[in-house]
């Protein structure tokens, strides 16, 4: 009988995995793909480092260990289990960790053991998460780079390697740009905040304006980095939630307020009354102002860590 099954759902989160999920996936002969692979425990998981390296370079994915490939070219052949023996969890966990440390930089690899209820075997599900800004990942001993292509792990071609390193240089430039504009914005905010104590109903000067255009461009270019650092935030239909997005919304409100005050001398007292609550939050000693400055300094520090790691 020829299997004609629809594409199955493959969990990418470890908490979704259990023995039933594993059993259900074994019948899908063509299930292996960029983001998922079965691996036998034969030869003490030989070559696991290359699969971890490939997945880290290509996409966040899952490796399920303790499963043999179909032993026949017959279309009815399915994957079979050759699980690990209970009581050896620590041994295999240490071996898996050792394979992961052969990859440079070491990607994030988390694992979960699945135990069969009626025999002495267990299986290991690995989640491999490659960071966009740490690619390319290489095998330390050989300097080789591997990628996932379809359902297989392959050495990266010269073109792929070149693209990875070109992207690396582009990412460094993007992070340097973000770091520079965070510093500029921080300095401009401090200068603006130092002016605010003298701003009242009779103030006739000009509040230093912020040019957010370059900072916004730097944020857009570095969205992948800010998202990977979990500080970008989210955009809903009518609001911004958390992180850099919320701070940008606050900064837009501030620049609008400064524009209103700086429009001219006529009716300045009225405009000040409309704006003073916003301006109060941006004075040097206010927690709101301090929070934005701390967030900018945090991004500067994260950029610095990336540049040091990537050098």
Rounded Cα–Cα distance for residues 38 and 16 (Å): 17
Rounded Cα–Cα distance for residues 235 and 191 (Å): 30
pLDDT in tens, the chain (311 residues): 344 455 688 999 999 999 999 999 999 888 898 899 999 998 899 999 999 999 998 878 999 999 998 875 666 678 999 899 999 999 999 999 999 999 999 999 999 999 998 888 999 999 999 887 778 899 999 999 999 888 889 888 877 777 767 777 788 889 999 999 999 999 999 999 999 998 888 888 888 888 899 999 999 999 988 988 889 887 665 655 678 999 999 999 999 998 888 887 667 788 888 888 888 999 999 999 999 999 999 999 999 988 876 54
Rounded Cα–Cα distance for residues 5 and 76 (Å): 12
Would you state the structure tokens that stand for residue 213, as one six-digit string? 């255009």
Cβ distance 278 to 254 under 8 Å? yes
CA distances for 280 relative to 33, 152, 197, 255, 288, angstroms = 55, 59, 9, 14, 9
- Count of Cβ atoms closer than 10 Å to residue 106 Cβ: 15
- In terms of pTM, does the model score above 0.85? no
φ, ψ of residue 8 to 5 degrees: the values are -85, 160
φ, ψ of residue 126 to 5 degrees: the values are -105, 135
């Amino acid at each position: 009988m020829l299997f004609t099954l629809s594409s199955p759902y493959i969990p990418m989160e470890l908490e979704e995995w259990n023995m039933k999920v594993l059993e259900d996936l074994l019948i899908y002969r063509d299930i292996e793909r960029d983001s998922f692979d079965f691996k036998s425990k034969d030869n003490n998981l030989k070559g696991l480092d290359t699969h971890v390296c490939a997945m880290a370079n290509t996409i966040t994915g899952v490796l399920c260990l303790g499963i043999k490939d179909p032993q026949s070219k017959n279309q009815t052949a399915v994957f079979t289990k050759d699980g690990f023996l209970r009581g050896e969890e620590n041994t295999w966990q240490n071996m898996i960790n050792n394979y992961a440390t052969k990859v440079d930089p070491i990607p994030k690899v988390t694992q979960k053991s699945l135990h069969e209820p009626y025999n002495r075997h267990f299986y290991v599900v690995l989640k491999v998460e490659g960071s966009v800004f740490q690619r390319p990942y290489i095998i330390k001993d050989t300097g080789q780079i591997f990628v996932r292509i379809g359902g297989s792990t392959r050495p990266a071609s010269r073109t792929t390697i070149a693209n990875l390193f070109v992207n690396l240089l582009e990412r460094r430039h993007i992070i340097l740009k973000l770091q520079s504009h965070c510093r500029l914005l921080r300095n401009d905010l401090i200068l603006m905040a130092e002016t605010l104590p003298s701003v009242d109903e009779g103030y006739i000067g000009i509040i230093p304006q912020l040019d957010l255009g370059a900072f916004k461009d730097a944020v857009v270019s570095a969205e992948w980095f800010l998202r990977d650092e979990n500080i970008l935030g989210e955009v809903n239909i009518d609001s911004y939630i958390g992180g850099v997005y919320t701070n940008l919304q606050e900064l837009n409100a501030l620049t609008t307020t400064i524009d209103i005050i700086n429009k001219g001398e006529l009716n300045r007292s009225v405009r000040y009354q409309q704006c003073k609550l916003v301006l109060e939050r941006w004075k040097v000693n206010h927690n709101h102002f301090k929070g934005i400055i701390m967030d900018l300094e945090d991004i500067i520090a994260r950029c610095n860590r990336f540049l040091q790691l990537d050098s």
